[in-house]
A and B are shown apart, each in its own frame.
Chain A
Amino acid sequence: MSARVTIATAQRVLRQLRRDQRTLALVFIVPPLLLTLIKYVFDGQTQTFDRIGGPLVGIFPFVLMFVITSITMLRERTTGTLERLMTLPLSKLDLLAGYGLAFGLVAALQAGVTSAVGFGLLDLHVDGSIAVVVLLAVGNALLGMALGLLASAFAQTEFQAVQFMPAFVLPQFLLCGLLVPRERMAPLLEWISYALPLSWAYDGLQRAVDGGAAGPIARDAAIVLGVTVLALGLAAATLRRRTP
């Protein structure tokens, strides 16, 4: 692995993203806009907005990074640039870490913008530390990125890749505990929710929002990190230097 190649890859990915103004606008405008929408949907129910809005700041990056990464990586596969990279002195880890660095940065910015709007303009209130929420948001974005990289291996077209969003992400979103507390779900669903990484991500966020103790938050974050590393390992295995 080489720091030079990793950084070059991250810069290249960011440069591509910067060229795509519309996507950038979506990345930075959609989450604050949705947050605003939620505030007015729950007009007058401040508590509900606080309960949902706080953790959402950390869940948006997960969803968006999943979509963006799976499509960017699919493009690398279909345009032949991945094949070119695989013939060059670049390790798979350089490529994955380069992606991680670039999208981690974007996620931090996105979480920053969303929190600024949420906590600054929309009177979103949390008992815990906003910095911890943003930090967890970056971790969740990396989880989304890792799963997106993995998912891209199973898509042949961008159309399919987009469909993976509802297929991979929506069930996790429904079961993570944000909409209905997990202990109130049917036992089967509750068990399933324990197997899904977003549930742990949500647990951590909820604890952070409530100003919970550092220990359990760190444990939740460690689980998210573990799944991220696992997904990256699996994604690396799908990057083949030799193909049929």
Chain B
Amino acid sequence: MAAVCVRELDVVRGSTHALRAVSVEVPEGRITGLLGPSGSGKTTLMRAIVGVQVIRRGSVEVLGLPAGARELRRRVGYVTQAPSVYGDLTARENLDYFARIVGAAPGRVEEVLETVDLVRLSRRPVSSLSNGERSRVSLAAALLGRPDLLVLDEPTVGLDPVLRRDLWATFRRLAEGGATLLVSSHVMDEADRCDELMLIRDGRILAQSPPEELLRRTRADDLEDAFLVLIEGAS
């Protein structure tokens, strides 16, 4: 079963053709990595899936509904690349507010603070936290409503390796609990942590398959090489 089904999606942002005839499927209950260089269209594709992007053509279906449908606002969690939380409030105050919007159970704020390892810093204004800490507050906010689909735009940028490992462990736990995750990254070494990969470049999908299959098909030693083989094949 596919949690997300994108068909022939075309998106134009300003003067750039951000996505061209993109057709992909995000499998349910697994971690899908969306990989590609900066400016390749990762964020635009994620925005289209969350339903905040104006699209020119094509269709995006999420959990059986058109992307952006009202019912999906409780079921889809989106974390933008820049942490979208209130800098003048503490992490706890931010989470309290978002928890009340999604109607999360009491005690849920404490749980997500533990998940992202921010309990100790939860009473400091978010503006006084480091970039990595801020993006964890943003991630915690998206976890509050236990969404069925989590769309995470470069969630591990600028994090220290230990924390990055812990976060990926968290993502794995969420997937094992039945959630579907779509995680973008421009770092290839995160690719082998995913069950499924989508490679995107210049607004086009180069490949979608599990990592092992990608290696086998391109006869590459690692995923970085596999990406290069695909790019050269495409041009």
Contact = CB atoms under 8 A, between A and B. Distances in A.
A79 interface: yes
Interface in B141-160: 141
Contacts of A79: 82, 84, 86-87
B54 A89 contact: no
Interface residues of A, number: 25
Interface stretch (A15-23, A41-49, A220-228): A15-23
A20 to B, nearest CB: 7
Given A4-B100, A241-B51, A84 B78 contact: yes
B82 A241 contact: no
Contacts of A4: 100, 103
B153 to A, nearest CB: 11
Contact of A8 (B68, B80, B101): B101
What band does the interface of chain B fall in when counting residues whose beta carbon is under 8 Å from A?
20 to 34
A63 B141 CA distance: 35
B88 A81 contact: no
Nearest to B67: A242
Contact of B89 (A15, A80, A87, A244): A15
Interface string A77-112: 001110111111110000000000000000000000
Interface string A1-43: 0001100110110011001100000000000000000000000
Tell me the dominant secondary structure on chain A's binding face: helix
B85 A88 contact: no
B84 A89 contact: no
B202 to A, nearest CB: 19
Contacts of A12: 86, 89, 93, 97
A83 B101 contact: no
Interface string A56-89: 0000000000000000000000011101111111
B88 A87 contact: no
A87 B98 contact: no
Contacts of A90: 73, 101
Contacts of A243: 52-54
B132 interface: no
A89 B89 contact: no
B68 to A, nearest CB: 7
Contact of B101 (A15, A88, A241): A88
A87 B14 contact: no
B84 A5 contact: no
Contact of B53 (A81, A84, A89, A242): A242
B161 to A, nearest CB: 27
Interface of A: 4-5, 8-9, 11-12, 15-16, 19-20, 79-81, 83-90, 241-244
7 contacts: A19-B125, A79-B84, A87-B78, A88-B101, A241-B52, A242-B51, A243-B53
Interface of B: 13-14, 50-54, 68, 70, 73-74, 76, 78, 80, 82-89, 93, 97-98, 100-103, 125, 141
